Amino acid sequence: MKRSHFSLLLLVLVYGWAVYWVFTRSSPVIEERPITIRIAHWQIERGPPDGFAAVIKRYEELKPKVKVEQLLVPGAVYKQWLRTNLAGDTGSDIMEWGAWLAGQKDVPARYFVPLTAELEQPNPYNVGTSQEGIPWQDTFHDNLIGARRDSPDPGQIYAVTVTELSVRLFCNAELLKKITGSTAAPKTYDDFRRILALTQAYARRTSQPINGLAGSRDNGLWITSAVFAGPLLALNYQFDDSGYLYLYNRQVLAAYLEGRWNFQRPEVKAGLQLVREVSQATKPGYLQLRRDDAMLEFFSGGALFLFTGTWDATTIKQTAPFPVTAMRLPPITPDDPEVGKYIMAVAGEGRGETAMAMYLNKTSSHPKEALDFLQFLTSVPGNQLFTDKSLWLPAINGVDVPDEIKPFRDYQLGYAIGQSPYNFIGSEVSMAWDSNFYELTGDQGSVDKFAAKLDQVMPQKIRMDLENEARNALLLVKPQDALIIAQANLVDESDQGLMHAQRRREMEAGQTMSEGLAFQMKLQLARSKLP
Amino acid sequence: MVLSVTPSERWMLCACLALFMPLLAWAGSSTDDADANWRALINNRPKDVLRVYDADTAGREAQLAEGVAIMSMQPATDDNMRRAGEIFVGVAKGDDELAAQATYLQARLHQLHFQVPDYAQAAQLYEQLATLQPDSHWAQLGLVKLAMLKLYVLNIDAAVGADRLSSAEVLLKRIHEPALLRDLHLQIGQAGVVLKQPLPRILPHLVAADQAGGISGTAKEDLVVQIGELSLRAGLLEQSKDYFERYLQTYPDNLRAYAVARRLEETNRQLALKREAQP
């Protein structure tokens, strides 16, 4: 073969290989950033993706060897995506998780790593800020209430949070003026009730399909949780044997099985009446609709209020074709003319709960870098970037809050009900609530019918949920035996060895606590066994 | 000074090196292999341990790791637990740390890992370990687990609530590791609440657990508010005041802060009444 033919052949081969590479690979031949970490979340509303992008851009400037990819997974498929990837060992390094994701309660114990030891140390990215030298966990505005509460192990913290959320009534100010003659926000719950009645009258008078509240399953659940809790407070304190001034789901479930409350109790019926009132102000069949449908209904002028979280505030602000005002849902007080006699005190929102909980995947290939990114994301400078670009409240103390979102930090102080309102204390309970909800709403529905139906179906459902709670506690406990022994056998005098000793101690304490809880729940189940 | 070596010495040195090098390499790799096994288990990769396991050359530590790997395999089956148990029985012959770990794991298998637990058998193994090696960490940890069995599942028909607390309290005297002592105090206190024991019986255990320190997560917050509230209910007003104040200082922004502040007002009101009533 002549030399020129050989060169030509070589050129064609190299060109062919280059074309193949370009069309089949997305990464360059030589990776400039050898480490890639991925962070997955479902916050695809307007705001967070830009916030994360700003944080990532700055982080990559600081860490030239690390590339961070943001995976936006729609909420509708997140559960399935999460479970499939975790089971297949292909999960992202950092993943968002929430305790309310139905059927996913076991995920943290199975797949995520506790961050307790790291959270006790200062966040290195806070040097030179107001949070310098403060343990990382104490730099969160709420001391990580949610991450502590939702931890599968009461002695451990598994997540860090990025933002702070609250729920608010977003009001179409123009429509409010047309309906009530004023743009004044309701001062009491009875004012709010009256505005809902006026809206119904206005819709009838003008023959326009206008509802008091924009409806969807999610929006319905949020307002249900807010109003249902009010009258339950008095009941709650009657079976707070532990003295926590707060009830965990397992305690409410056990109290039902022990016959200490049921849906016939006047406090519970008062709560159901409030749920019926807000349901009647919402489009029929709203439980079948999604958040986007409620948003559309509100934007098209079909509803006066949209009750949603501040997570939708940026979208609402950028999309609504009319002026929108955000206001707190007025608290239900002891002087309420309908249910006041059952109200012990005002239920509070606390001082804001931080959210968008990020967890570190146990099987991450780069746990050190992923943890480092989490520290930057939740540092004063990192969280400031997120806040400025997303217009979501910061989770971290010392971050400046932009003026337009400052009102979201105006919280209703009051008593805490506990982990969840009684319609949400377990997945079986929630499903039974939903499937029988028609008994409460519409012209055919009533509080009495719904309460009777719930007491018929709930004993079995509540038992199943308490069994699930006990099972989940043991799910965490069992694998720890192997881990504790393994940690113990890696202990030596080196820094790494001492870290294993620390982990072993933490795991032993956490395991004993979880084991204790599982035993308690089993005892309660045994005590209340049906004949 | 120049080191001078004769040709014969040079050969001897080479021979020594040739003899010792494999020995050194074996010793090093043995430790590394053992550590690699434990690291694989920490990373939830029990199959990695079983893949490299060689029954002919495995020492007791490798055998223990094999047993732990088998009990960690998914799906967890009774067959696997039985296999792991047999290995632990072998490793448990001795009086060293490995033997203690193996006995402890046998007890855990019976308590937790078989489909049908055998609490009596687990309790017997914990007791046996605590008798043979009372100072071993695993015996001490086993005593905490034994106490929990006594609190919740052993002899439940025979014992009323108070007796069940007593049977666990007896074991406190045999535990000298402060962290484990703390954990057992906490468990007795919490069991006392569920078993509806009088508050004066429960509170000293909760206070002892708190004073030992080192509790983290939501358990710490729960404990502080719990001691404050239960002390108020028991009429231990000074103690209630201390704990409520500590709660508000530590968790000023938490969800329960409002309720705690109201309960502190109540504590202070009762304290004032008590002082007024004093001659």
- Least Cα distance to A424 among A283, A249, A244 occurs for A249
The DSSP symbol for A372 reads H
| DSSP strand pairing (A211-213 vs A303-309) | parallel
- Least Cα distance to A206 among A196, A198, A194, A214 occurs for A198
Measured CA to CA, the distance from residue B175 to residue B130 in angstroms comes to 10
The DSSP symbol for A342 reads G
Closest Cβ opposite residue B217 in set A116, A523, A524: A116
Judge whether A35-164+352-409 and A167-348 match in fold: yes
Measured CA to CA, the distance from residue B229 to residue A243 in angstroms comes to 5
Task: Find the closest chain A residue to B260 by CA distance.
Answer: A245
- Looking at 3.60.15.10, 3.40.190.10, 1.10.10.10, 3.40.50.10860, the CATH number of the domain A35-164+352-409 comes to 3.40.190.10
Question: Could you give the strand order of the β-sheet that contains A324-327, starting from the edge strand earlier in sequence?
Answer: A211-213, A303-309, A167-172, A324-327
Closest Cβ opposite residue A143 in set B194, B219, B251: B251
A510 neighbors A156 (Cβ within 8 angstroms): yes
Q: Which residue has the higher pLDDT, B43 or A356?
A: A356
**Where in chain A are the domains?**
35-164+352-409, 167-348, 466-527
Nearest-Cα distance to chain A for B279, in Å, is 32
Measured CA to CA, the distance from residue A507 to residue B163 in angstroms comes to 29
What is the structure's pLDDT at B12?
65
CA angle B12-B16-B20, nearest 5°? 175
Helix H or strand E segment including A38 = strand A35-41
Mean pLDDT of A111-137: 94
Q: Within 10 Å of residue A81's Cβ, how many Cβ atoms?
A: 18
A373 neighbors A59 (Cβ within 8 angstroms): yes
Measured CA to CA, the distance from residue A428 to residue A491 in angstroms comes to 43
Confidence of residue A348 (pLDDT cuts 50, 70, 90): confident
Measured CA to CA, the distance from residue A419 to residue A413 in angstroms comes to 17
Report the b/e string of A224-245 with b at 16+ CB within 10 A. Answer: bbbbbbbbbbbbbeebbbbbbb
| Cβ-defined contact of A362 to B196 (cutoff 8 Å) | no
Segment among A64-73, A143-152, A373-382 with least mean pLDDT? A143-152
Question: In chain A, what percentage of residues exceed pLDDT 90?
Answer: 69
| Cβ-defined contact of B183 to A142 (cutoff 8 Å) | no
Closest Cβ opposite residue A155 in set B34, B219, B253: B219
Tally of residues, chain A: 531
What is the structure's pLDDT at B25?
47
Measured CA to CA, the distance from residue A251 to residue A420 in angstroms comes to 11
Confidence of residue A397 (pLDDT cuts 50, 70, 90): very high
Mean pLDDT of A104-120: 85
| Cβ-defined contact of B251 to A506 (cutoff 8 Å) | no
Mean pLDDT of A61-80: 93
CA angle A221-A227-A233, nearest 5°? 120
Task: Find the closest chain A residue to B182 by CA distance.
Answer: A509
| Cβ-defined contact of B215 to A509 (cutoff 8 Å) | yes
- Terminal Cα-to-Cα distance of chain B (whole angstroms): 94
E runs forming strands in A274-352: 303-309, 324-327
Question: What are the helix (H) ranges across A352-417?
Answer: 367-377, 380-390
Question: Could you give the strand order of the β-sheet that contains A353-360, starting from the edge strand earlier in sequence?
Answer: A66-72, A35-41, A94-96, A353-360, A159-165, A393-394
* Residue A249 token pair: 């789901």
CA A294 to chain centre: 19
Q: What is the pLDDT along chain B (279 residues), one digit of tens a residue?
A: 444 556 666 666 556 555 555 544 444 445 567 789 999 998 778 999 998 888 777 789 999 999 999 999 988 999 999 999 999 999 999 899 999 999 999 999 999 999 999 999 999 999 999 999 999 999 999 999 999 999 999 976 655 566 789 999 999 999 999 999 999 999 999 999 999 999 999 999 999 999 999 998 789 999 999 999 999 999 999 999 999 999 999 988 888 999 999 999 999 999 999 999 987
A465-516 tens-digit pLDDT: 999 989 888 887 898 999 999 999 999 999 889 989 988 998 999 999 999 9
Measured CA to CA, the distance from residue A172 to residue A324 in angstroms comes to 5
Topology adopted by domain A167-348? D-Maltodextrin-Binding Protein; domain 2 (3.40.190)
3-class secondary-structure state, position A37: strand
| Cβ-defined contact of A490 to B39 (cutoff 8 Å) | yes
Measured CA to CA, the distance from residue B123 to residue B145 in angstroms comes to 8
Residues of B in contact with A246 (CB under 8 A): 225, 255-256, 259
Report the complex ipTM: 0.88
Task: Find the closest chain A residue to B49 by CA distance.
Answer: A486
Mean pLDDT of A33-60: 94
CA A531 to chain centre: 39
A430-471 tens-digit pLDDT: 999 999 999 999 889 999 999 999 999 999 999 999 999 898
Residues 6+ apart with CB under 8 A from A406: none
A371 neighbors A118 (Cβ within 8 angstroms): yes
Measured CA to CA, the distance from residue A306 to residue A222 in angstroms comes to 11
What is the structure's pLDDT at A117?
85
Q: Which of A75-84, A106-115, A259-268, A346-355 has the highest mean pLDDT?
A: A259-268
| Cβ-defined contact of A486 to B255 (cutoff 8 Å) | no
Residues of B in contact with A523 (CB under 8 A): 152, 194
A106 neighbors A150 (Cβ within 8 angstroms): no
Q: What are A309's strand-pairing partners?
A: A167
Residues of B in contact with A415 (CB under 8 A): 258-259, 262
Confidence of residue A28 (pLDDT cuts 50, 70, 90): low
3-class secondary-structure state, position A360: strand
Question: SS3 for A475-487, per residue?
Answer: HHHHHHHHHHHHH
